[in-house]
Amino acid sequence: MAPSVPPAPRTELPPAHGAVICVAAPCLVISPEHGQLTGRGIDGIYRSGRRLLSRCVLRVGGRDPVAVQGRSLGSDRAAFTATVRTGAEPGPDPDIGVERVRHADGTERITVRSFTTRPLRLPVELLLGTDLAELAAVAAGRAGPELPAGVHAAGLRWSSGEAQAVTAAEPAPDDALASAGLLRWQLELGPGESRTIELRTVQDRVSRAPAGQVANPLAAARAEGDDPRVEAWFRRSVEDLGALLMRDPQEPADAFVAAGVPWRLGLAPAESLWAARMALPLGTGLAAATLRTLGRTQTRGRGPDAGKIPGPLRGAGPQLPPGCTGTEATLAFPAVLAEARRWGMPEEEVARLLPAAERCLQWLRGALGPDGLLADPDPGPRRLETQAHAHRAALLGADLLDGCGRPGAEEWREWAAALRKRFGDGFWIDGPDGGRPAAALHPDGRPLPRLTGAAAHLLDTGLLGGGRLAPGLLGRVRAEQLARLLGAPAMDSGWGLRSMANREPGHNPFGHRSGAVRAHESAVAVAGLAQAGFENEAAGLLRGLLDAADSFGYRLPEMYAAEQRTAGSAPLPHPAACRPAAVAAAAGVHALTALAGLRPDAPAGTVAVVPLPGAPLGALRFCDLRVAGEPFAVRISRLGLGMVEEAADALQLGG
């Protein structure tokens, strides 16, 4: 018998959860909390996936500054405060303060301030270096050694093949030593005086990096309320979505949100569409541009993939084989377009995107298996959430076809009704406790009896005309049972919804599909429960999400460990999670605006406001949202009553 061959070791992503990350896509800076870029790990200044600077170590007066604080100042900048004790004054107190403000575009301002009572002549040194590595190589541990530096007119430069980076300083250094990667200044500081050195790291020899970002299509909406954390979470969510905006290389005027940093700073079809959908209260511009971008990738011609939006396979946890984001994006496309129209996407934009949505529906019609269910990928399991996405696509697609005067709407409604019947017969597992939905059906029809967070998608039915919600795959009795399950401790960790119940075999609090909290799935659960009238369960999950957001500085990771909440505990970061991530940032907008229960129908000129009863976070006010392309403001009282304060003149309240 041949000896077994041990499996090749898996590459572990370097941990990023403790890093201070600044992003203004495609620019990215990853810093440790102390602010010194040491050349180790993933720290560095990146642009378009290439590390331009990996080492930037500051020494003041021949000493390493003592780190005091590192903090984020916004999505695209951070500040690092340190002190130095030169010995010029007696006693233990530091006599030099250092503040470094680092921007995502590669700019850094280093301010050195004297606290002494006498003049100082202070040497300041910067040790610089880079490997010009691609981020993928850094993540895989294949970055390579630092490159030799050359002296630039006001700093240093590095090159390797076609890649190049320049770090320029202002004022120019007194000395530059390329062999050591050293820039040195002699600063004269009087009592209380400060001096600032500005560094600019770019890909070429120009003085400053070109902007690169598209115009932000998201409204600068604000939230305020009795709980001050609401304002902070909403603001950071909107900022991070803006920071993740990237151009479509084919049509630079169109923007989409990248999936997340540091690992997925690019287009991920399903995540980009989900983020655009959850951000519809900030306007329809992002949804329109994302739909156009993905429409250009749609498979044309004939064959089983015609009409599908391509997407890579992604991990689905130990219970199921990988799932295909292309299926999810294809099903989301007509639903997002239909809802964007209700929020006020101009009809001419809808008309241009309608043929791509119809092709998605045509693909869906031919993608069902012999059992009338949709596999993902095919051949493979019939996942619960895939059936929910397909059902929503059919019903919202029918609404879209009706609204645009296209044929086929009634046929899709009948198709959805047949899917409801098949789902009810095959997916629901009866039991003495009321039963539960199966996570999936195997190809032979056997159910996978796991309770997972994906069940939240059964409550996310989508918005139809007149402020109505589409019917779901579950009847009222089973929906009530699912709400109880989602709100129970087995699924509600106290910090959000687990991706799998903690009593299931194979539960792992760090498993991204087998137990961890996935921020956007929790927000989907909050909104779905609120829309279906399960206020207690929605409020419980929402409070947990808000507490988790507070713990993470209001920048939720895409997932985090779902250890059961106890007194004095905190949510644990997942070492491989992106932060910020598009769907996690959009989750803040989606979960909080769910409290207002906005149901617009811009083509009909109406908007309904159906707040969550009980006002679980107290009084709330949202302003500068967008409905029908115009500013919209709504206030929710402590009694849970909604009042529209600003809206387009043509909108009527009600539905």
Q: What is the mean pLDDT of the chain?
A: 93
Q: What gap in Å lies between CA 119 and CA 114, rounded to an integer?
A: 9
CA atoms 363, 366, 372, 373: torsion sign:
negative
pLDDT digits (tens, 9 = 90+) for 103-119: 999 999 999 999 988 89
**Tens-place pLDDT, residues 235-249:** 999 999 999 999 999
> CATH classification of 222-646, choosing from 1.10.274.100, 3.40.50.10540, 1.50.10.10, 3.30.70.2740?
1.50.10.10
Report, as an integer, the average pLDDT of 611-623. Answer: 95
Q: Which tokens go with 94?
A: 């530091």
Asked if 325 and 310 count as a contact pair (C-beta separation under 8 A), the reply is no
* Per-residue model confidence (pLDDT) at position 205: 52
State the Cα–Cα distance between residues 368 and 431, nearest whole angstrom.
Answer: 29
Q: How far apart are CA 559 and CA 588, in angstroms?
A: 14
Four-point Cα dihedral 395, 397, 398, 402, nearest 10: 140
| Alpha carbon of residue 131 to chain centroid | 29
Lowest mean pLDDT among 209-218, 400-409, 413-422: 209-218
209's torsion region: left (phi>0), alpha (psi -120 to 50) or beta?
Answer: beta
- Domain 19-204 class, CATH top level: mainly beta
d(CA 120, CA 113): 11
Residue-level pLDDT at 208: 42
Per cent of the chain over pLDDT 90 is 85
How far is CA 278 from each of CA 426, 472, 544, rounded to the nearest angstrom?
30, 19, 19
6 half-sphere exposure, CB direction, 13 A CA radius: 3
Q: How confident is the model at residue 209 (pLDDT cuts 50, 70, 90)?
A: very low
Q: Which residue has the tokens 């995107």?
A: 353
Strand 606-609 to 620-627 pairing: unpaired
Contacts 24+ apart (CB under 8 A), 569-574: 571/495, 571/496, 571/517, 572/509, 572/510, 573/17, 573/18, 574/17, 574/510, 574/512, 574/516
Which residue pairs from 428-436 have beta carbons closer than 8 angstroms and sit at least 24 positions apart in sequence? 428/478, 434/481, 434/484, 435/478, 435/481, 436/481, 436/482, 436/485
Q: Is the pLDDT of residue 8 over 50?
A: no
Using CA atoms, how far apart are residues 567 and 375, in angstroms rounded to an integer?
43
Q: pLDDT (tens digit, 9 = 90+) per residue, 274-305?
A: 999 999 999 999 999 999 999 999 999 898 89
On the 0-12 / 13-18 / 19+ scale of CB atoms within 10 A, 369 is: middle
**pLDDT tens digits, residue range 379-406?**
899 999 999 999 999 999 999 999 999 9
Write down the domain spans for the chain: 19-204, 222-646
Q: How far is it, in rounded angstroms, from Cα 109 to Cα 79?
A: 9
Residue 15's closest CA among 202, 343, 263? 263
Residue-wise DSSP of 234-261 = HHHHHHHHHHTEEE-SSSTT-EEE-SBT
CA atoms within 13 A on the CB side of 40: 6
Cα separation of 652 and 333, whole Å? 28
The neighbour count for residue 283, using CB atoms within 10 Å, is 23
